[in-house]
Structure 1
Amino acid sequence: MNSRNRGKNTGDDTLFGSEKQISKLKLAVEDMRYLLTREYPEKAASELVGNRYRLKTRQIQALRGASASDSQLHNRRLKHVETLDLKGRTVYLDGFNVLILLESLLSEAYIFEGLDGCIRDLSGVHGTYKRVNQTLIAVELIAAFYQKNQIQKLVWIFDKPVSNSGRIKQIILEFAEQHQLNWEADLQFNPDKFLAESSEIIISSDAWILDHCKEWFNLIGYLIREEKLPVNLIKML
């Protein structure tokens, strides 16, 4: 196992660790929602708001993740399912999105609750996925969720072009075999499109997927509550 994690970046405490910065971000999210609702393009809106509040690059990243238009929020709310809806169902999980977010959360990085109630982080896959100290704990948390809610089958979807995607797929399948879980793992060239077009319940915090999928479940929010995870959570509402 690598001795590494997905914790905070240098400087994150300055950007997100004070009440003053958080208040500023909340105001920025309100402005961003106003502009997006009036159909300003996201990039232009975030530049405008970023300039107004003198936000740094990572703060703008958090702002964009947390914001949405009124119609997006309404649409996402309508499609969100509750834990009771999961029993006996097949669920598709956005592999890297969920895994990296959980690894960040467990590494005490800052995570953000957006207007849609979804939790997001500031990490991402940049062409390569590297397993970290928290990877196995993240998989165990997902296994506990799967068993507790009597899900019929869980299918992990990973980006085929990301290097090491085959390796993490193997780790997931070996874990499932050891613990007798009805899991599958699949590599897709365009996982976002695949998930958005699926008729099954989706687990992801990717905004585009949430806007286009049929049904989704807020797994990270559930795990924070259910497992009482200690988190550096900033509510952007």
Structure 2
Amino acid sequence: MNNRNRGKNTGDDNLFGSEKQISKLKLAVQDMQYLLTRGYAEKASSELVGNRYRLKTRQIQVLRGASASDIQIHNRKLKQLNVPDLKDKTIYLDGFNVLILLESLLSDAYIFEGADGCFRDLSGVHGTYKRVNQTLKAIELVAGFFQKNLVQKLVWVFDQPVSNSGRIKQIILDFALENKLNWEAELQYNPDKFLAESSEIIISSDAWILDHCKEWFNLIGYLIQEEKLSVNLIKTR
């Protein structure tokens, strides 16, 4: 696979490109939500539902990312902020989560809207982050959001154990300096825990962080709408 892009995997069109596959995925997400709402474990539920609909590995990955219990969806919605809430505030941004998702979106990879209204993709860091053709455009989109909504400060948080995290941190800081943006970037050994325990507003689509943080904002949803981005979007609800 070409590392200069973060596009589709070979075979993704077969798994997600037809109405038949999307319908199957929607039914699977409904079943998964039913089981999670009744307290079944995620792993057991996804195996059961995956077998029922004969889902492939990447489809099960989407199923897990898109599904949540009724109470999780309810609680996430309660903590979700709107654009006017962001003015003059400090925001902590889940660096790799947001950057890779935007890179995937800009590369025409499939993006999935989950039961909680959050957007997720199928890419991962896997221990090393590689800059791609869409990295700068992704950062520029975040900058546009930052300036347009008069956010006071934005802190990018990256996983220290990921290879090249120091390099992307420097790219962010250099970009902020050039464009006179009040941005910071930091490396954390456990960014999920750090973000979840922060008293600031969080930007992430990581389910565990959304369940544990105080307040959050759906940046990807905002950008898709505000910037009228062309998205290879699959709604799973």
What letter is aligned with 1:218?
A: N
What's 1:183 paired with? 183
Deviations 1:61-93 (A, max 9, x none): 001000000010011000000000000000000
Deviation of 1:4 (Å):
1.0
Deviations 1:150-206 (A, max 9, x none): 000000000000010000000000000000000000000000000000000000000
Give, in whole Å, the separation in 1 of the partners of 2:94 and 2:63.
22
Name the CA shift for 1:127/1:3 in 2 (closer, same or farther; >3 Å): closer
What's 1:211 paired with? 211
SS of alignment partner, residue 48 of structure 2: helix
Give, in whole Å, the separation in 1 of the partners of 2:90 and 2:197.
15
Deviations 1:19-46 (A, max 9, x none): 0000000000000000000110000000
What letter is aligned with 2:21?
A: Q
Q: Give the total of aligned pairs.
A: 236
Give, in whole Å, the separation in 2 of the partners of 1:11 and 1:221.
26
TM-score, structure 1 length as denominator? Answer: 0.99
Give, in whole Å, the separation in 2 of the partners of 1:107 and 1:4.
10
SS of alignment partner, residue 136 of structure 1: helix
1:32-181 correspondence runs (5 A): 32-181=32-181
Contact persistence 1:6–1:109 (CA under 8 A):
yes
Give, in whole Å, the separation in 1 of the partners of 2:102 and 2:134.
8
Give, in whole Å, the separation in 2 of the partners of 1:171 and 1:199.
26
What letter is aligned with 2:33?
A: R
What letter is aligned with 1:186?
A: E
Deviation of 1:3 (Å):
7.1
Give, in whole Å, the separation in 2 of the partners of 1:201 and 1:159.
18
TM-score, structure 2 length as denominator? Answer: 0.99
Contact persistence 2:3–2:130 (CA under 8 A):
no
* Structure 2 unaligned regions, length at least 5: none
The ranges of structure 1 where at least 4 consecutive aligned residues each deviate by more than 2 angstroms after the TM superposition are none
Deviations 1:76-126 (A, max 9, x none): 000000000000000000000000000000000000000100000000110
What's 1:222 paired with? 222
Give, in whole Å, the separation in 1 of the partners of 2:114 and 2:212.
18
Q: RMSD of the alignment, in Å?
A: 0.8
SS of alignment partner, residue 187 of structure 2: strand
SS of alignment partner, residue 98 of structure 2: helix
SS of alignment partner, residue 64 of structure 1: helix
Contact persistence 1:3–1:133 (CA under 8 A):
no
SS of alignment partner, residue 10 of structure 2: coil
